[in-house]
Structure 1
Amino acid sequence: MIAKTRIIPDGKKVLKKLPLVHYLEAPYLYYPMTNQRCPEGETCVVFGQFVKVGEVIGTRKGAFFEQPIHATVSGEVVGYEMKYDASGQKVNCMIVKNDYKYEVHESVKTRTDEEILNFTKADYVEIAKNAGLVGLGGSGFPTYIKLNTKAEINIVLANGVECEPKLISDYELMMNYPDELINGLIYAMRALNAKTGIIAVKKKYMELVERINFALNAYPEYDIQVVPVGNYYPQGWELEAIKSATGIVVPQGKLPADYGVVPFNVSTLQSLFHAVKYGLPVLERYFVISGDGAVNKSFKIRIGTPIHNLLEKAGGYVDTHIPKTLIMGGPMMGTNLPSDDIISTHTATSLIVQNTVYSDEDPCIHCASCVYSCPVQIQPVQIMNAVKAKDKDFLKTLSVNKCIECGLCSFVCPSKIHLTDYMRQGKRILRQGE
């Protein structure tokens, strides 16, 4: 009988041993004026203007929200240029020439603990909105909207599972800054009037459990606990993490807030701490270069840093005679890129550089591996056939929109069919018909 695939190689053990390089030497920083959630944008600075760290330099505009753009270095605005972002799209970017002084803008001010204790929900919402905080686990969803829910919330979940292979950003954060995570969680609990906080991490990382539990000894007045969850993939999927860590089952398509729980990525909660305590937007993120096609290196970088600068700093490509496959993000859900002319954004934490291996798709052998392994119980091959036939009605019947694009169907397919890409195509066909 075909078994459900749950355990996949993650390649993290070696990456976690890499020395961390704090890279602040990028001569130019690039800030996208638009992104996937915000198709429009405008600037509020001009060529030649000097800007400082934390200063608002523009605004991205979405369907129902706006998102300020902040400078992460001090320096001169020198122009615009098209670059690839983490989604693989070419976007117009404002360029700031780094003066390497990192002068902080006057609007960035530290708040006292006494001042923060008196904050209302509206205060937390406004701070998160002004700081442009978004989901740093990859969703990019505005944090202030989550904090502004009208539902009664009992639990705030800090999702630190980070189940996708090759990603170590959240792990590094939890090991190095557990107190910042805990304080960010406390701020979210206060904003949502939640009594309980839960930090979910993989149970195989007992060093993380012990590290965070030790830090929690300084916060005995709060009901916060670390809950080890499964080591399988995709345990980090929002609904799966909620179920494993809290026992609450949230049906797909429903809001977790309606079931009394609000999940945040652990890096998002750290960014909430920085915004509330220090008045800072997201300035830096961990970023790792991995794969057999380049020298592997672990960095901490400013948002807006060109990734080709990091490749050069790491040592460049290896086996330069072999074509490279570039993947922004993880190998299961990441985006294939045509060039290394990429800039780092809030949700970018990894570049995988692989020596390209060419392989042809074979016909489907009807083994049902993809069906057994699908976490949302859809039928990938049937959806593939509907995509090829451009059958919108059948795609709706097959519930293609339930797909979370975890990549398992492609991973387990013995015929090497890129099933996840067919799932994405199916969603696009339905959107075009709306």
Structure 2
Amino acid sequence: MERASPDPARPEFSRPEDFNFQESLLPMTQHEAAVEANRCLYCYDAPCMHACPTHIDIPTFIRKISTGNLRGSARTILESNFLGGTCARVCPVQELCEGACVMGADHTPIAIGRLQRYAVDHVQDKGVQLFSPAASTGQKVAVVGSGPAGLSAAAELAKLGHAVTLYEKRELGGGLSTYGIIVLREPVEVALREVDAVKVLGVDVRTQVELTDKAGLDALLREYDAVFLGLGLGAVPAIGIPGEEHILDGLEVIEASKMGQPTGIGRHVAVIGAGNTAIDAATVARRMGAGTQMVYRRTEHEMTAYRHEYEFALHEGISFDFLTQPVRVLSEAGQVTGLECRRMVLGVPDGSGRPRPEPVPGSEFVIVCDTVISAIGQEKPALAVALGVQLEGGYIAVSDGLETSTPGVYAGGDCVRVRGSASTVMAVQDGKIAAASIHAALAARVAAD
């Protein structure tokens, strides 16, 4: 099959050289990939494969690299994870496949993520299309949201022969991969070529179309045989401190850096939060030349960022103020001049199981800065309420097959993350599970008719 032709309306993305925005890891050379692949023991009961949420046959794809069969290697990966190019870059491999590698006990774990990227990039750079849709089932499915969950569901459904329409409210498809992951981890072009890949399967991708209410969902159910919701999460929540109107949204900063737009970052930046998104926002600031420190009310032991992300930030020259609670943003004539904070101590555990931070009386101090960024997580999916589906803890409640309380409507990704940790690879697996459930339900309906 031919590669999808470039979209002439698509913007080109480039980074000013002085901002030093490029992927943090260079692609492997042929020699490096061969040497690394031949280190693998090709375990029969491979723990790396069990640790992968999408259950990629890791020993098989690595063996194929060692024999020079890159097309076969990529097919093995993409059969289990259609977003193998993204996940090769953004998966927390240190916590998953590489963390489970038996070589890690006494040696260095196999570089599974980099090998996966090597194989997938090989076929995608050459425009090789490995999959084609099955014969038409005559069934139509709507997928709302083109993030990892939506793309995964759309691809699997199209491969099964269903006619899929993918709706995306933004100008570009790809969701978080396109807009919310810093270039150092995933360039925009990588995310967009995965959107192109679902188009090649026959998926009709319609951008700048937004689902807003139950009436819209009911209209989709009248037109389609099933609907999948990959809604993601909401905005960064308010902190509730004076001067908050001067705080920048961490996700918006990351998006601006990816789209080549002004970020609003000055020379001295304070980032509130200590999750992976906060570290990404801080990295953007640091790579733009700003002195950057992160402010977190607990300690490094309670921060939600992965350990390797924390160490990466330290290596970048980002400093951390632990046991520090922001209380007010200081400004003069609309320009931020500092972030007033107070020291904290840890008390008894709260509802999250982590020690509750308690203020130290009289411990207020000021961090001098000209930019404050907030990245303290995202709100629960507000649209879920408007759609009238049952919720669980503020997230969409789903069955084991990811069907919602509304028959024929399925959901996956971060909008159902009460079921587990939020990550790209988990969203991809949700898309696979939902696609299989939808396919089974539609086949049963046809058989009953």
Under TM normalisation by the shorter chain, which class is it?
A: 0.3 to 0.5
Normalising by structure 2, we get a TM-score of 0.33
Which of 1 and 2 has greater Rg? 2
Task: Normalising by structure 1, report the TM-score.
Answer: 0.34
Higher helix share: 2
